[in-house]
Amino acid sequence: MTAKFIRSAANESQFLRDGVKTAVFAGRSNVGKSSVINLLTGQKNLARVGGTPGKTAHVNYFFIDETFYFADLPGYGYAKVSHAEKLRWAALLESFFLKPENIALGVLVTDARHKPTALDAQMTGLFRQAGIPFITLANKADKLKPSQLQPALSLIGETLRLEEPPLPVSSVTGAGKREILSEIFNRLKGSADNGTD
């Protein structure tokens, strides 16, 4: 697979709306969204890991196999973010989801160890309202004992009222990578081509 960083969009005029099917990654800040993108693309330093949470919100775009985009949304829920920054984040996301034509798939990244938050539920609401099919990942699965995994996945699935339980993944061990990649590519390839108009 090839993966190339394209741009960091700070406002609507910088969003990529050129007809390329896009998978958009969302999740709480520090949940491991950037680590998951690096795992899936096989490039350790493609998305920046462990950057200061709550830093100015951008949407980072990556070109995958010169066919699809992965878009990394700014993380939410970091307590120390200023009110002004939260408003900026909300405005950025609102404008992002206003024209969801090219967004073929949402990828919600959650933490396998924790019950999803109200903000996670809001994110699923955004996907549902925009008519964007989405899958849910439960990252940091390496932090759970094998016996804890199924109950944890059930809790996430029930809390977010998912049709299918979340897919476990560990950005540290790589567990789950193959299954998730095939799920994402199957969904992207199978999605309707709405074009740009």
Ligand X SMILES: Nc1nc2c(ncn2[C@@H]2O[C@H](COP(=O)(O)OP(=O)(O)O)[C@@H](O)[C@H]2O)c(=O)[nH]1
**Minimum CB distance to ligand X smaller for 47 or for 126:** 47
Smallest gap, in angstroms, from Cβ of residue 48 to ligand X?
A: 7
CA distance 93 to 26: 10
Residue type at 18 in one-letter notation: D
Q: Which does 41 bind (CB under 5 to 8 A by kind): Mg ion, ligand X, none?
A: none
With a CB cutoff of 8 Å and minimum separation 6, the contacts of 113 are: 140, 143, 144, 152
Site for ligand X in 35-74 (CB under 6 A): 35, 49-50
Stretch in the footprint of Mg ion (CB under 5 A) among 32-40, 107-115, 121-129, 139-147: 32-40
Q: Dihedral sign, CA of 31, 184, 71, 133?
A: negative
What minimum distance in Å lies between the beta carbon of 196 and ligand X?
29
Tell me how far, at minimum, the Cβ of 12 lies from Mg ion, in Å: 21
Tell which residue, 170, 121, 115, has the closest CA to residue 141: 170
As a whole number of angstroms, the distance between CA 122 and CA 85 comes to 18
In 3D space, the residue among 35, 114, 111, 30 whose CA is nearest the CA of residue 74 turns out to be 30
Tokens linked to 53: 């949470």
Q: Which of 3, 9, 26, 33 is the binder for ligand X (CB under 6 A)?
A: 33
Per DSSP, 19 falls in state S
Q: Does 34 bind Mg ion (CB under 5 A)?
A: yes
Query: Which one among 22, 34, 102, 191 touches ligand X, defined by CB under 6 A?
Result: 34
Take residue 8 and report the two structure tokens written for it: 């960091």
Q: Minimum distance between the CB of residue 49 and ligand X, rounded to whole angstroms?
A: 4
- Whole-number minimum distance, CB 160 to ligand X, in Å? 17
Compute the distance between CA of residue 11 and CA of residue 30 in angstroms, rounded to an integer: 22
- Residues contacting 131, CB < 8 A, separation 6+: 100
Question: Which span sits near ligand X by CB under 6 A: 31-39, 59-67, 100-108, 113-121?
Answer: 31-39
In the shown chain, the binding pattern of residues 113 to 152 toward ligand X, with x for contact by CB under 6 A and - for none, equals --------------------------xx-xx---------
Q: Give contact residues for Mg ion (rule: CB under 5 A).
A: 33-34
Q: Give contact residues for ligand X (rule: CB under 6 A).
A: 27, 29-35, 49-50, 75, 139-140, 142-143, 170-172
